[in-house]
Structure 1
């Protein structure tokens, strides 16, 4: 392992880090795939570009939380090859881990611990949160680092459109909403999303509650999937989730549902979605947020 070093990420590392991420998560999906799950597929060029754009954003906002493990191949004049990565961010009083992984060929050699230790040092004692896969090596590492693991549910399928209720009290969101959205985030998870809202609004549809006494918002992707949802009351959260489901086309996904968020389970089952278990929300020095559906990368 003398040829592998852990250092801060640089922008030039992004293509190599993306390739490492694509291989790592493809192999993880294949190894943990259940019989009922679809076959794992390699990451598309579009998704690869989205990954790089997202990591470039994190690198620009909080570079001190972005780490890579790189290997210098003996006798090679090529740039360092990324074999592991841990992309984390500090937002106000909260730390979150956006993505983390080590190439299968380099697992079991202590690289994961070195990367997590570097990211946690950047946290400087802040409470932390991230979404974890079911990979046994990763979950072992997170628990050893002191995180509580809260099992997540997910719901998949095609929405039975005959179940869609008439939804009112919502409107399209704007950048002018960010101030109260950040306050809602502080109430739910101890810190606002800050610059993350700017990035998400550029690529996702934002829908918000009109009632400022019962605030809430949801980001919806181009497939009509709820990418991040936060609300002060479960009834508001349900209306927002129904709006996302009404926007869905074909198969949809509702993810990151922890036990305190059974309001989402009620909506999904009513819409005739199938429910299953998928990974964990890992938290340290904080409860699992509710009513709240976390984003995989922005938490």
Structure 2
């Protein structure tokens, strides 16, 4: 096995994608619908290349002797907070030490960080691995449902102003990040602004932001109070078009405010993996991004 850093190239981004698609099942099953949403694979490629640029020491690809990909681990450091963005091994290469070597390289990159966060899947082997690495496992919930006319009828309107976010809000975003998770996302916001709609609140009561995709996924939400967080999530659901597959993943028990909004909107609540944390309590009010944590 050869272990090397992921490069900022289309070829390496595609290799990482092939591993993830194979490791987590066929594409239709993983997408939860008939195939991947339009542009999804290209978006993942952009994220892989972004991390290869910003954190080359934290992004690793495992190859066999023929140079074919076996596994991938992508991680990032942001102001003392380390996060594991992606970790996957081909089914045929599992239980052969590939995952152990990849995770060790990623963890080494975060050795000097005070805090760590991983959005883990339901795979019990992955959960055990993260626990052995010193992470506390916080069972997570997910809200999901199709947006229809009744969804918007059920939801109470936001209790205050919500604005469209733009690049000039970067300082506000980083400030809220530091308040909620201990470290700003920095350059990650630059990429997210090109891929997601940004909603922002900023008034005398505090500040917050939320990214929401056209496909209905709430990518990341952080605020200085539960009240503002509820306002943002409500606005995010209300802005979705009818027929969208609304999804709000990564909710720990501390995010009951989000559960309340989802139930009011008629979304289905279920359990879904773990939010794994080291050196920090569950951020709140906060909804993590699977990639940028």
- TM norm. shorter chain > 0.5: yes
Displacement after TM superposition at 1:255 (Å): 1.0
Task: Provide Cα deviations, 1:108-165, integer angstroms capped at 9, x if missing partner.
Answer: 1111111111001011231110100011221121111111110110111134221122
Q: Which residue does 2:131 correspond to in 1? A: 143
In 2: Cα distance, 1:118 partner to 1:41 partner: 36
Q: Which residue does 2:251 correspond to in 1? A: 257
Question: Of the candidates 36, 48, 63, which is equivalent to residue 55 of structure 1?
Answer: 48
In 1: Cα distance, 2:45 partner to 2:145 partner: 29
Displacement after TM superposition at 1:5 (Å): 1.6
Q: Is the 8 A contact 2:21 2:27 kept in 1?
A: no
Between 1:94-103 and 1:210-219, the stretch displaced more is 210-219
Question: Of the candidates 84, 96, 99, which is equivalent to residue 112 of structure 1?
Answer: 99
Aligned ranges 1:38-77 → 2 under 5 Å: 43=36, 46-73=39-66
Q: Is the 8 A contact 2:63 2:71 kept in 1?
A: yes
Aligned ranges 1:1-299 → 2 under 5 Å: 4-10=1-7, 11=9, 12-26=11-25, 43=36, 46-73=39-66, 80-126=67-113, 127-159=115-147, 160-167=151-158, 168-211=160-203, 213-249=205-241, 250=243, 251-299=245-293
Q: Is the 8 A contact 1:88 1:95 kept in 2?
A: yes
Secondary structure of the 2:206 match is coil
Secondary structure of the 1:288 match is coil
In 1: Cα distance, 2:122 partner to 2:222 partner: 25
Cα gap change, 1:55 to 1:129, in 2 (>3 Å): same
Q: Is the 8 A contact 1:26 1:42 kept in 2?
A: no
RMSD: 2.0
Structure 1 residue runs without a partner (length 5+): 74-79
Give TM-score scaled by structure 1 length.
0.89
Q: Is the 8 A contact 1:224 1:247 kept in 2?
A: no
Secondary structure of the 2:255 match is helix
